[in-house]
Chain A
Amino acid sequence: MALDIASWVLLSMGGLFVFIGGVGVLRMPDFYTRIHASSLTDTMGAILIILGIMLQAGASLAAIKLAMILLFLLITSPTATNALASAALLAGVRPCGTDPVMSADKGIDLDTNADAGSLGEGKDT
């Protein structure tokens, strides 16, 4: 019973983090802050949710498999975020506020650079 409650607490916390990550992706001003928000989903959200499911699974083969999944997620998702960020940097997306031409008052609109528009605006089109 206590395990059940603990697992539900973990699952709800994980859901909360995923939700915050989702809000962040929608509300953040530029590409880099957005992937920062989405990395919250990958790390905190995934960890809490998988721990919650592990408590539900109990001591079994399923729990070990879940632990492996968690391990691989913890290795791959930061790497994916890093690769995404460096790809954006390579394509010429400037972080919001670093360049006087594309300062914060322009907000999300980074369309001055064609590549920046394509990558930064990906989720909206």
Chain B
Amino acid sequence: MELLGLYHYWVFAVLLMIGFYAVISKSNLIKKLIGLSIFQAAVFLLYITMGKVAGGTAPIIQAGVENAVFSNPLPQVLILTAIVVGISTMALGLGIVVRIKEEYGSIEERDIQEIDRR
């Protein structure tokens, strides 16, 4: 159980950094956004992992079941709303990328910087 917990945290760290790598090293703006969404998903995973209680169930109270163990509902609420907010802001980012493509004719950071320098 302990190793699984640590494995969760390690996967969080690795996913976080895979996303971060895409953001800092890729030149394509859409690829950067996909990296950002991986980064975001890693943070979601961390929150949900922290809220898990061993032997618990989803926090839905069932009639007639006494002394049930529930996982922590609070991180779940935060992440549930964060996912929806995440997709809205991601869509805004995609919208900006589309506009950049329309103005610059490219979505590669390198091309855009070159056009700006001229």
A touching B, CB within 8 angstroms: no
